[in-house]
Amino acid sequence: MNSNQPDQDNILMVYVISDSIGETGELIAKASVKQFDTSDFMIKRFPYTNTVDQIKPLLEEAAQYKKCLVVYTNVDADTRAYIKRKEKELHLHTVDVMGPPMDQLESILGYEPMRQPGLIRRLDDNYFKKVEAIEFAVQYDDGKDPRGIVKADIVLVGVSRTSKTPLSMYLANKLYKVANVPLVPEVPVPKEVYKKDNRRLFGLVANSEKLYTIREERLRALGLNSSAKYANVDRIEEEVDYSVRIMRDIGCTIIDVSNKAIEETAEIINDYMRERF
């Protein structure tokens, strides 16, 4: 982009018209222009432009340039039809970014699109919520900070190796803020757990044999002695019994994860949350 006052005969002008912020149209315009060996171009973006009164002067202005392309991402059918009519009338070169894909999808799916501007922006908002939920899960993993229990949408409790951490991350991808708390006989349960709405509390249990196998493999992977207390059957049974007592005491929903995949457990919790809230 070379000049604030473009030479109408030599510069390539690209007008990007959008009923939302116009990022999609501008990215397509830039990517297309970059395929040509020229630096003599200017892209002008016109966001939130969707009425005839807004669009008419822009098209008339674009028509003054010898080399001009109009890229538009409007989803309203009447707006697109108007631009198409003016294209012929003003001898413009235009690209309808949204129209052809939506027309093809309407033909494939058998029903009309919503034609609501800015839906991709709403998807982006979900992306940022997901990032926030993942950061929350990392920050409040393994009982690191009891303040997370208060803030969490979901609190998972259970003994070691009941998949609390991976389940927290999986649920974070569904936009839930999840804290998890290990249950260990020698460590007091945070008081915040007892104060939490028990509809948001989920206890994860597994049978002793399953936990023994997982813990033994974990110790081997770390190069540690598999006969350690961590993988002792009697100790595991003690932990399981203790955890079940605590879970009943706090009134949480208990889920046996012995033979369940992470995805299956997550779906069970998701179903409970949708029913309850």
Residue 160, annotated ligand binder?
Answer: yes
Residue 161, annotated ligand binder?
Answer: yes
Domain count, the chain: 2
Are both 17 and 51 inside the same structural domain? yes
Q: What is the CATH classification number for the domain harbouring 190?
A: 3.40.50.300
Is 14 within 8 Å of 33 (Cβ atoms)?
A: yes
Domain residue limits at 159 = 125-276
Structural domain includes residue 3: no
Q: What is the CATH classification number for the domain harbouring 57?
A: 3.40.50
Lowest mean pLDDT among 17-31, 56-70, 87-101, 110-124: 110-124
Are both 162 and 215 inside the same structural domain? yes
pLDDT in tens, 119-172: 766 666 778 889 899 999 999 999 999 999 999 999 999 999 999 999 999 999
pLDDT in tens, 15-47: 999 998 888 999 999 999 999 988 899 999 999
Structure pTM?
0.60
Residue 159, annotated ligand binder?
Answer: yes
| d(C-alpha 197, C-alpha 155), whole Å | 10
> Residue 10 contacts by C-beta under 8 Å, 6 or more apart in sequence?
40, 66, 67
Domain end call among 75, 91, 123: 123
- The DSSP code for 115 is -
Residue 248, annotated ligand binder?
Answer: no
Domain end call among 90, 123, 156: 123
Domain end call among 94, 123, 152: 123
Query: Given this model, what pLDDT does residue 222 score?
Result: 82
